[in-house]
A and B are shown apart, each in its own frame.
Chain A
Amino acid sequence: MQSSSQSSKTTLSSLWQILFGHPVRAFGTVSILLLILMAIAPAKNHFSEWRHYQHKYLSLIRGRGDAVSLERRFHDHDGIQQIWLPQLGVVDRCTTCHTGLKEASLSDVNTQPFRRHPVIPHTLDQYGCVMCHRGQGPATTMEEAHSSTAAWEQPILPARYVQSSCGQCHHTPLTGAPQLNAGRNMLGRYGCVHCHTIKMADGSTMKPTDDPPSLQHIADKTTREWVYAWLKDPQAYAVTSTMPNFKLSDADARDISAFLIATSTPVAGDTAPATGGKAPDATEGASLYGESFCATCHAVQNAAGNVVGGDIGPELTRVGTKVKPEWLRGWLRNPRVYDPGTAMPHYRFNDPQVSLLTAFLGNKADADFLANVHLDAATPEQIAHGKLLVTENGCASCHEINGVKKPDNFAPELTRIGSKPLTQILFLPGMEHSLPDYIAAKIRNPRSFGPALKMPQYTFAPAQVDALTTALLSLTDRAHDLPAAMTVPAKPVSNYQPAGKAGQLMSDLACFSCHVINGRGSDLAPDLTWEGSSVQRAWLQSFLKNPGTLRPALIRRMPRFNLSDSDANELTDYIMTVYQTPAFDRDSMPTSGYPAAQVEQGKQLFYSKYGCQSCHIVDTKVDKGYIGPTLTQVGSRLTAPWVYHWLKDPQSLRPGTIEPNRSMSDEDARALTAFLMTQKGSGKQEAKK
């Protein structure tokens, strides 16, 4: 060690002797150093990275067929390039190296930075690069432009999250950004926004869409043992459950279950005793479950492990292990007694039907789920500790619980999480210091950042983690600070609620759980905003009483609610009077009495010119198409002006319908309407013959 430092010392002193030993030499050395120093600036420019890439680009295009025009376009813009968009705050020099972005003929080039940009709806000159890809626009070296450096910390956004950038300006669902749409839906669907506040650019707050159940009357519904087992592992009860796992210890789960049961209050009339009589038949129960289209909302896991059914209501695979039979009976009789705001319709089942379904669902049990749960009677200390745990874990952020107030801002606000400075983030050892990686790791395994953290464990597939990360990354400073004129605002939420007795009936039947009316509701079933102009009164009345099959291929259909005549009349009157389009008068064309020649012409058009039979059935013996509704009785179902206007421009009556606009002439549309209006249903047709 000593000898090496000794030798380096002598080396240094001899170097000093050579360079500065004599005044002339010293003068020469200083002059040369000065020359070198002065040469640094031009040398740096000459050897700069971007010049290197531009030279490489030139040699790349020289061998190509269209080299002349490519070269001319390049030389029109060589040197450092810049896209300057003051209103967006964009100064991008990326095109200095990325020379081939706009060259369509370079589509076979795979090497960066020369690749052509894929086709997207925006142009480079309008939006620049960093709006979508992040990174440092003004930088002129790859290192500074792409990575985070000491002075600039905004790195390039990995391609897998690039859809998040669409979400900065577009606050409505986007066809081209399915990952962003899915992530945004998840924020509501998995209840993230119960605990984390997310304010939108328009000042509104993101609303959850999961409707977690109130626990105020939980003791009427289920047992303490079930609550305990559920708290320990919700996905063991139902794989599709959106309730996360709080990783509770046995003692904590015991105490929380003790508190929830102890604090529960009974609801008058939410349970019903067994009516006795003969034991219900299992196959009858199964067919009533099928006829009532329960599977439209509820899923069941089959023997193969596949979850089959809808995800609007809870999964019912093990429901018999969960709910008390007397509660289930009361719920099936009228769910609104226990939960006035439930999405479940009030089916108006009679007592034998209630017994059938109760027995059928009661058999969906799994003895193993509660096999190892043995709880002693709860002590007051356990109940008090349970209440403390419920408060600490923020249970009341999602669920209503007697005696515990909903906490405000239980978890950190995520309004600008997409611009969170890296300096404010505590990374785990060995983790890459990037915002997307941090967010994804937090979602994947929140407690890896500290066992005392409260965020629970979700069971997301990798694609879901990416989607959620994408949605969160879209919540940037830029998303909030862009002028309103440069964004596509979210559709305002509709709180439409029809008044009067019909309005009450529509709430009771939960029409909005499937249908959209005046902007409110779910898109599972047709939009009913203009239903009164579309259908004939007699048909609607009988359909409400006994919904028939319109689209044979659909597995999710309108259930039968067992409506009384007066209820069906009330609803029919309301729909026929209120839900009318301003576009035409529903009585402006007759429902029958069209000339035979016109009907025959319409039939020709239907089968030959327009080939309607590829999707619709008019004659059940010949036609097979079943994409659109069956038209065998369309003449007694729809009004003639609706059919006519529909044929002329289907999207004007129902935006987004898949029926293609045929740009039909007036004459053709009238003839087809005449033909269709003669389709009055098989019974009447036969009678005519």
Chain B
Amino acid sequence: MTTTLALNMRNMRTMGYWRAVSVVSLTLLSVACTSKSASVATLKPTGFGTAIVESSGGKQLGATGTALAQPLVVQVNDEQGNAVTGAAVEFKGPSGVSFDPASGLTDSSGQLSTNVTLGDIAGRYQLLATTPTKAQKSVELKVEEIALGYQQQVGYQLDNKYCARCHNPESSPERVSNYDNLEVKPHPFTEGDTLNKMSDDDLKNIIGHGGPALNKSALMPPYGYTLSKTEIDALIAYIRSISDPPYHASGLVYAQK
């Protein structure tokens, strides 16, 4: 700023009166611009791989703006599929996503772990992990995580309490799935091929009035006298947010298209 002012003053002698006045006033009026530049730390890799794969931490659900429960762990391998130590890995995501650390070298088992904090818009976040190869190219890995907004998060908890025992075929000692015991199999909520074709009203009806409301199995009981309207809306918002393939309808925000 001071240099511009000095430069203007130096030009002053060759200027006319009006130009001098206007330059001075313009300079004084434009006292408001600052810019910051970010610096990128460079890593010195000691190893180079040809492939990067996900070890764990993909396809997690987390609340918007919060750290995911599990770290994202990626592994760099060479042509023979052996883990590469000391390969540089860089993580990138849509704006709002942060990584701790954002880049680093793989450890002795060829892995690098990072804690991911999702952005504050609900939706799918495509994360990118890249590692340079010896040939100065880079290979990348795409991992998807889902951020749940307030409404979807309420739905997620309702799903855990009321629905998942039948609708989620995954069984664990803590929560044994009832899926296999049912004669008519319920649709897992990720089953986008089927559920994406159903309108919000259809979902509302089947949750509120049970399977027979849509001429489906009576094994699906009605929850309209147990859950409130807001809760059923939340459940639908959650079902829409996790469906695979993604549910495309006006009313859903995608962090990255």
Contact = CB atoms under 8 A, between A and B. Distances in A.
Interface string A103-131: 01101101000010011110000000000
B39 interface: no
A79 interface: no
Interface in A1-56: 7-8, 11-12, 14-15, 18-19, 25, 29, 32, 36
A36 to B, nearest CB: 6
Contacts of A119: 149-151, 233, 237
A463 interface: yes
A43 to B, nearest CB: 8
A108 B250 contact: yes
A434 B24 CA distance: 39
Nearest to A553: B176
B252 interface: yes
Q: List the 5 closest A-B pairs by CB distance, nearest first.
A: A159-B65, A159-B120, A624-B181, A553-B176, A661-B225
Contacts of A626: 176, 178, 181
Contacts of A609: 218
A486 interface: no
B16 to A, nearest CB: 9
Interface stretch (B66-74, B135-143, B190-198): B66-74
B150 A627 contact: no
Contacts of B66: 160, 179, 463, 466
A609 B20 CA distance: 91
**Residue among B119, B251, B252 having the largest count of chain A Cβ atoms under 10 Å:** B251
Interface in A614-642: 614-615, 624-627
B29 to A, nearest CB: 8
A176 B20 contact: no
Given A118-B64, A162-B65, 6 more contacts: A107-B252, A110-B121, A119-B150, A160-B66, A610-B221, A611-B221
Contacts of B162: 658, 660
A592 interface: no
A492 interface: no
Contacts of B63: 163, 178-179
**Residue among B122, B165, B233 having the largest count of chain A Cβ atoms under 10 Å:** B165
Given A12-B9, A179-B66, A614-B182, A608 B218 contact: yes
B178 to A, nearest CB: 5
Contacts of B64: 118, 159
Nearest to B256: A110
A108 B253 contact: yes
Contacts of B6: 8, 11
Given A118-B122, A627-B165, A175 B20 contact: no
B55 interface: no
Contact of A611 (B21, B161, B219, B251): B219
B9 A11 contact: yes
Interface in A649-671: 651, 658, 660-663
Contact of B17 (A12, A25, A627): A25
DSSP majority for the B interface?
loop
Interface in A590-614: 608-611, 613-614
B225 A14 contact: no
Nearest to B63: A179
A178 B157 contact: yes
Contacts of A625: 178, 181-182
A203 interface: no
B79 interface: no
Contacts of A162: 65
B115 A462 contact: yes
B154 interface: yes
Interface residues of A, number: 54
Contacts of A121: 230
Nearest to B163: A658
B170 to A, nearest CB: 14
Contacts of B223: 660
B174 interface: yes
Interface string A157-186: 011101100000000000110110000000
Interface string A210-242: 000000000000000000000000000000000
Contacts of A36: 25
A178 B68 CA distance: 13
A503 B119 CA distance: 52
A120 B122 CA distance: 13
Contacts of B149: 118-119
B10 interface: yes
Given A12-B9, A29-B21, A176 B154 contact: yes
Interface string B149-182: 1110110010001100110000001101010011
A485 interface: no
Interface in B108-124: 115, 117, 119-122
A466 B115 CA distance: 12
B252 to A, nearest CB: 7
A625 B119 CA distance: 40
Given A8-B6, A176-B153, A658-B162, A611 B225 contact: no
Given A15-B12, A611-B221, A661 B226 contact: yes
Contacts of B45: none
B217 interface: yes
Given A108-B253, A159-B65, A466-B66, A660 B221 contact: yes
A53 B166 CA distance: 49
B65 A11 contact: no
**Residue among B121, B226, B252 having the largest count of chain A Cβ atoms under 10 Å:** B226
Contacts of A104: 251
Given A175-B154, A176-B150, A463-B66, A18 B221 contact: no
A614 B166 contact: yes
A555 interface: yes
Interface string B6-24: 1001101100010011000
A610 B176 contact: no
A119 B20 CA distance: 56
23 contacts: A11-B12, A15-B20, A19-B17, A108-B250, A110-B253, A119-B151, A159-B65, A178-B63, A178-B153, A178-B157, A179-B63, A553-B178, A609-B218, A611-B220, A614-B181, A625-B181, A626-B176, A627-B165, A627-B166, A651-B226, A660-B162, A660-B221, A663-B225
A462 B161 CA distance: 26
A6 to B, nearest CB: 13
B246 interface: no
Given A15-B12, A160-B117, A614-B221, A120 B226 contact: no
B58 interface: no
A662 B151 contact: no
A158 B100 CA distance: 17
A498 B153 CA distance: 39
Contacts of A118: 64, 122, 149-151
Given A119-B237, A611-B221, A160 B65 contact: yes
Contacts of A32: 21, 25
B221 A160 contact: no
A285 B240 CA distance: 49
Contacts of A178: 63, 153, 157
A516 B137 CA distance: 62
Interface string B74-109: 000000000000000000000000001000000000
B47 interface: no
**Residue among A14, A105, A627 having the largest count of chain B Cβ atoms under 10 Å:** A627
B218 A611 contact: yes
Interface in B212-257: 217-226, 230, 233, 237, 250-253, 255
A611 B176 contact: no
A345 to B, nearest CB: 22
Contacts of A615: 178
Contacts of A29: 21
A119 B12 CA distance: 59
B12 A14 contact: yes
Contacts of A7: 10
A18 B153 CA distance: 69
